[in-house]
Structure 1
Amino acid sequence: MKAHGILIIGGGLAGLTAAIHLASEGLDVAVIEMQPYPHHKVCGEYVSKEVDPYLKRLGVDLKVFGAVDISKFQISTLDGFIIETDLPLGGFGISRFAFDQLLCTRAIELGVTFYFEKVINTAYDNNRFTISTKSNTYTSKIAIGAYGKRSVLDKKMERAFSDKKQSWLAVKSHYKMADFPDALVGLHNFEGGYGGLSKTETGDVNFCYLVNYNSFKKFKDISSFNSNVIAVNPFLNKFLENAEPIFEQPMTIAQIAFDRKESVVGHMLMCGDTAGLIHPLCGNGMAMAIHSAKIASELTLRFFNDPKYTRELLERDYKKSWSKEFSNRLWFGRRLQGVLMNKTLVSMGIKSVGKSKSILKFIISKTHGQLIS
């Protein structure tokens, strides 16, 4: 049995950020992640600059590592009508292959321990957590769940959404395209879903889309779906005709849940997508994951440093802080997706918004936060 002060289940953006923050304050932190780095993940690979000052404080400067500076936002209707505006804060384009590796390297510099195993069970008793994998058992005073959108752990912890059949599928691939603008992130609609386009640090373009499974299952594979559905949007058709795929096969994730989730389960603090998943159209999931790790880390530090700050207070404050920062964004994202899944509403809405870009900027602002430091 291996003991640590803090165990983090999952080494994505939220888990790695929390590990860096806590280790930089001298705490004993271990991360349990299924796959060694680097590896690709299904992700929009656009992160809002709201987290830039905080990342720099942690010793992570995305620009130094080649992240693409993004300042323009573009959206198109199914019939190819396009509007474009400036992003209020802007963002960075960087692949998860590079971003996660960068954060892992920084965490190791600070003394974080990594175990590359799959967690199969968690338990809490007598003020300590016991985390089990197939081959090892770990204990800690604090546990942070940052294992992503969906896991067998959710079912074992009897989280409500884990028993529901979900209807969303996400598909991601990288492409080479010579004339795709560096500074642009785009959101493009098609029947049954929508997808994002933006450049990564390699100069390749990430195309990641979300589709309702009922629309997708009518076709035998991704290639057929792309040709028969996605290519109906003239803008996406032009992209697919002129872009060269890099991956041998696109990456996919099924059973994506956008249901409400609890931010504390079994005394474990949940971060990132494990606590709540914002609809990809909002382009802010990566920043939210990082911000949630900041909140969890600051409260955890108080728990370790202040004897009067009990676990009960820690959990209460994390729930309140998480809700204050993210609940409105998630609510707005759900409503916005409802509009985008109605092709009549989205066509009328985008064409109306095209006459007033201030409305589009307002929509963007409702799904993004302020600079955090």
Structure 2
Amino acid sequence: MILDKNKFQVIVVGGGLAGLISSICLQRSGVNTLLVEKKEYPFHRVCGEYISNEVKPFLEKMNLFPQHLKPSELNRFILSDIKGNIAEVDLPLGGFGISRFQLDDFLYQKALEAGVEVKTKSEVSDISFFEDEFNVSLKNGEQLNSEFVINAYGKRSKLDKAFDRDFIKKKSPFLGVKYHVKVDFPKDVIGLYNFQGGYCGVSHVEDDTVNICYLSRRENLKQYGYIAEMEKAILFQNPILKDIFENSDMLFERPEVINEISFEQKASVENHMLMAGDTAGLITPLCGNGMAMAIHSGFLASEAIIDFYKGKLKNRSEVEVQYSEIWLKHFSKRLWVGRKTQNLFGHQFRSGLSVGLVKIFPSLAKNLIKQTHGEVF
């Protein structure tokens, strides 16, 4: 038993889906866990807010499915090229839509119920490993120690620079923008609409709210200076997007924006730290299941550590090997397919070709969707 109030068996850095799921699983298994999140719940994140049903049985079994929030049920996929031509297929597994504002807060409350110690409004400035123990430094000067660390701090962080990770050395050409709106849009559809240099996802979350989230090349914003001007000049070239935006009642004072989104390969273990969620690898948004991957990887990271404390794994090296191998098994192919598929989007000719192929060969589109989604677990 750890008696030092600043020492834990596991410290989880980042309170998104991967961090919350891993901390809940660990604490419920009797592993003393601290979760550190730099913001205060609830808050919005730039996210497509669609979750593949591959994780629904797991969430239901763990009593972590937010049925009371009445998430939308999504089972149709509509693809549009830049000119507004569309093709439609059924989603093989289907999914559900729920805002991160609601879902993350719900899981945060579940973490507290499980006994996870949570530090919100706390930012990790550095993590070092020495003599088989981690020292976690907070920005306020507080020093914490743990036997294991799970990093689940998201797509990009100052910590990536501190760890000298390879992907952070490369300039990323993408930015992400998100709105919540009220607009007339089919409740069972997730739509993916191309524009020059990017694509926009549209789907319902809870409370008849529609999430609009798009990925654009930064050069679009650089050319027009302001997001609103860029949208009118670039996104509105797609008549469907123009209609959606012009008929939307915007629920945010300003959009949520994130810069420097990188789809470069990342390592799932760095200096003995387990990386989960977007910290381990970011799937392209057009694949629509980054949230499911975060949930699954958070569980897998916790499972490896739990196996160690149960005596199934002998040492730290075995924990790292198990997690690395199972992470690659579940996610590496999906990320590769996502990166290759992204080349078909954000370009007039290629997006038109994609829509044409989906119309002629809907089974091909369904197979591609399956390639970027996992098995039910």
Identify whether the pair has TM-score above 0.5, normalized to the shorter chain.
yes
Contact 2:12 2:152 in 1 (8 A): yes
Contact 1:16 1:104 in 2 (8 A): yes
2:112 corresponds to: 108
Is residue 175 of structure 1 aligned with residue 181 of structure 2? Answer: yes
Q: SS of 1:64's equivalent?
A: helix
- Aligned match of 1:251 in 253, 256, 265? 256
Is residue 284 of structure 1 aligned with residue 284 of structure 2? Answer: no
TM-score normalised per structure 1 = 0.97
Superposed counterparts of 1:17-96, under 5 Å: 17-96=21-100
1:151-185 CA deviation, whole Å, 9 max, x = no partner?
Answer: 111111110111221111000011111x2111111
Superposed counterparts of 1:192-211, under 5 Å: 192-211=197-216
2:273 corresponds to: 268
Contact 1:302 1:309 in 2 (8 A): no
Contact 1:51 1:290 in 2 (8 A): yes
Q: SS of 2:42's equivalent?
A: coil
Shift of 1:216: 2.2
Shift of 1:269: 0.2
Superposed counterparts of 1:330-349, under 5 Å: 330-349=335-354
Is residue 366 of structure 1 aligned with residue 371 of structure 2? Answer: yes
Shift of 1:62: 2.7
Instruction: Pick closer, same or farther for the CA change 1:286–1:219 going to 2, 3 Å.
Output: same
Is residue 119 of structure 1 aligned with residue 124 of structure 2? Answer: yes
Q: Distance in 1 between matches of 2:179 and 2:11?
A: 32
Q: Distance in 1 between matches of 2:66 and 2:87?
A: 28
Contact 2:127 2:135 in 1 (8 A): yes
Shift of 1:202: 2.1
For structure 1, list consecutive stretches of 5 or more residues without a partner in the other structure.
Answer: none
Contact 2:82 2:347 in 1 (8 A): no
Q: SS of 1:339's equivalent?
A: coil
1:334-357 CA deviation, whole Å, 9 max, x = no partner?
Answer: 100012133212212211221221
Instruction: Pick closer, same or farther for the CA change 1:307–1:92 going to 2, 3 Å.
Output: closer
1:213 corresponds to: 218
2:151 corresponds to: 145
Instruction: Pick closer, same or farther for the CA change 1:334–1:308 going to 2, 3 Å.
Output: closer
Q: Distance in 2 between matches of 1:307 and 1:246?
A: 50
Counterpart residue type for residue 212 of structure 2: F
Contact 2:16 2:104 in 1 (8 A): yes
RMSD: 1.1
TM-score normalised per structure 2 = 0.96
- Aligned match of 1:7 in 11, 15, 40? 11
Q: Which runs of 4+ in 1 moved over 3 A?
A: none
Shift of 1:309: 1.8
Counterpart residue type for residue 111 of structure 1: G
2:305 corresponds to: 300
- Aligned match of 1:327 in 332, 352, 355? 332
Q: Distance in 2 between matches of 1:309 and 1:62?
A: 36
Q: Distance in 1 between matches of 2:50 and 2:78?
A: 13
1:313 corresponds to: 318
Q: SS of 1:203's equivalent?
A: coil
Q: Distance in 2 between matches of 1:355 and 1:128?
A: 57
For structure 2, list consecutive stretches of 5 or more residues without a partner in the other structure.
Answer: none
Counterpart residue type for residue 172 of structure 1: K
Q: Distance in 2 between matches of 1:274 and 1:109?
A: 26
Counterpart residue type for residue 80 of structure 1: G
- Aligned pair count reads 371
Contact 1:59 1:106 in 2 (8 A): no
Q: Distance in 2 between matches of 1:225 and 1:130?
A: 44
1:203-257 CA deviation, whole Å, 9 max, x = no partner?
Answer: 1111000001112211121111111110110111111121111101111000111
2:239 corresponds to: 234
